[in-house]
Amino acid sequence: MPLIRRMPKRGFNNARHTVRYIPVNLAALNRFDDGARVDEAALRSVGLANGRGAGIKILGEGELTRKLTICAHAFSGSARAKIEKAGGVCETVSATRAPDKGA
């Protein structure tokens, strides 16, 4: 049998090099007081960001009715536009990589 047919057929998988964010929808942020600073600790304390991930990404699902200062690792384009339209501020913090499972 030829060598190429005897070798295992496994390829490169890019999934282990991706950054996985914890998604938080914009409508869920209305539970915070007007003018509050919303960061990762605040989101985890109210139960909006559960689990492991390299950071938090704010998605633009729903409407924001409060003026908030939001600190997250990533924002979608629609979320950033809606936050600034409501008078809020988007602050991007640097992402930290999740530890590898093999190490």
pLDDT in tens, 11-65: 888 887 888 999 999 999 999 999 999 999 999 999 999 988 889 999 999 999 9
Q: Is residue 99 part of a domain?
A: no
Stretch 71-90: mean pLDDT: 95
Question: Which among 38, 45, 40, 42 is positioned nearest to 64, based on CA atoms?
Answer: 38
State how far the Cα of 22 lies from the Cα of 19, in Å rounded to an integer.
10
Does 95 score more than 90 pLDDT? no
The tally of domains found in the chain comes to 1
Q: Is residue 4 part of a domain?
A: no
Identify whether the C-beta of residue 61 lies closer than 8 Å to the C-beta of residue 28: no
Phi, psi of 42 (to 5 degrees): -70, -40
Q: Is residue 33 part of a domain?
A: yes
Q: Is residue 44 part of a domain?
A: yes
State how far the Cα of 35 lies from the Cα of 18, in Å rounded to an integer.
34
Does 67 score more than 90 pLDDT? yes
Quote the pTM value: 0.76
Q: What is the pLDDT of residue 102?
A: 47
The residue ranking higher by pLDDT, 100 or 44, is 44
Q: Is residue 5 part of a domain?
A: no
